[in-house]
Structure formats: structure tokens, C-alpha cells
Amino acid sequence: MLKTLKKLALATVFLTSVGHAAAMPNDPAPDFTGIEKWLNSEPLTMEQLRGKVVLVDFWTYTCINCIHTIPYVKEWNEKYKDKGLVVVGVHTPEFPFERLTSNVEQAIKRFGITYPVAQDNRYATWKAYNNLYWPAFYLIGKDGRITYTHFGEGRYKETEAEIQRLLAQ
């Protein structure tokens, strides 16, 4: 009986994960879709951003792991925005109170975020990327294809090296 339960549990984990892979390198970058409000920017599209290197950062303002990544994202934005990098924060709420634009605006101000932030309250862009994580980085090359992904904290040197590589192309 215990063996059967273990097999059933493993099968459930496997089956619920099939078909839920996040967008991967070499995939065309999905467009921003279903965005409720753009903060710090007019609405952006991937077509408008073609020819630029784009860092799409899925985050939410109460996630501690997201908060830990913000200084790095802000630094990359400042360091490389004049060299062709566009950072777009996609704020996707985990909790209902994170859907309030006024709360997101306060968080942007508190964290000193100056790059564009798309408020993805209905998870439309999240779903377009098949994203499952906060935070999640998707680096998009000048050709509009995803070149690099990273989920969670860390790998800051590797992420910055990929930004530099893409900008040099």
C-alpha cells in the first residue's frame, strides 16, 4: 500500500509539471499582454523593443526574494540603459492587496525603481511566459528571442555577463 501511494504521489508531481515549462532560451519572447497599468512608462511591446536587449523581471513587492534582487536589477538598469538595455519589471501579485496600483506605486517609490513596470494583475503575461516563479529573469536578445533565464535569487555575475554579451552583439 505504501509503495502504491508513493508511486501515485510521484506520478501526480510528474503529471502536474508536464506542459508547464517556462519559456526557454531560443523561444521567441512573448509580448506583454493583459497589462492593467504601466508605471514609469507608456505601454511597451516586444516589437517596439526589437533591436534592444530586454530584461523581463517577474516580481511582486512583498516577496523577500524579489526584494533581494531589486538592487541588482536597478544597478543593471543604470549601468546599461544608455547602451541598449531595457529593463521591464512585470509586477504579478501573489496576494490580493498587491493588485492595488497605489500599493505598487508606493513600493516602486520606496525601492527607487525608475524602469518601466507592467502591472500584470490577471497573470496574462505571466502565463504567456509559462512562468512559475518570483523572481524570474528572462533576457531577450536584439532579435526578440529569449537567450537566458534565471529563477530565484543569485547568479548575478552570470546574469550581468549575459547582459554584457548581448549588448556587445
Is 114 a residue whose pLDDT tops 70?
Answer: yes
15 — pLDDT class (breaks 50, 70, 90): very low
Residue indicated by cell numbers 512559475: 132
Q: What is the residue-averaged pLDDT of the chain?
A: 90
pTM of the model: 0.87
Is 35 a residue whose pLDDT tops 90?
Answer: yes
**Which residues lie across from 138 on neighbouring strands?**
56, 149
- Rounded distance, CA 88 to CA 59, Å? 10
- Rounded distance, CA 42 to CA 13, Å? 41
- Rounded distance, CA 139 to CA 162, Å? 8
10 — pLDDT class (breaks 50, 70, 90): very low
Q: What is the pLDDT of residue 21?
A: 67
Give the alpha-carbon dihedral of 105, 66, 164, 24, to 10 degrees: -110
3-class state of residue 120 by DSSP = coil
Question: What is the 8-class DSSP label of residue 59?
Answer: E
By the 8 A CB rule, do 32 and 88 touch? yes
59-103: per-residue pLDDT in tens?
999 999 999 999 999 999 999 999 999 999 999 999 999 999 999
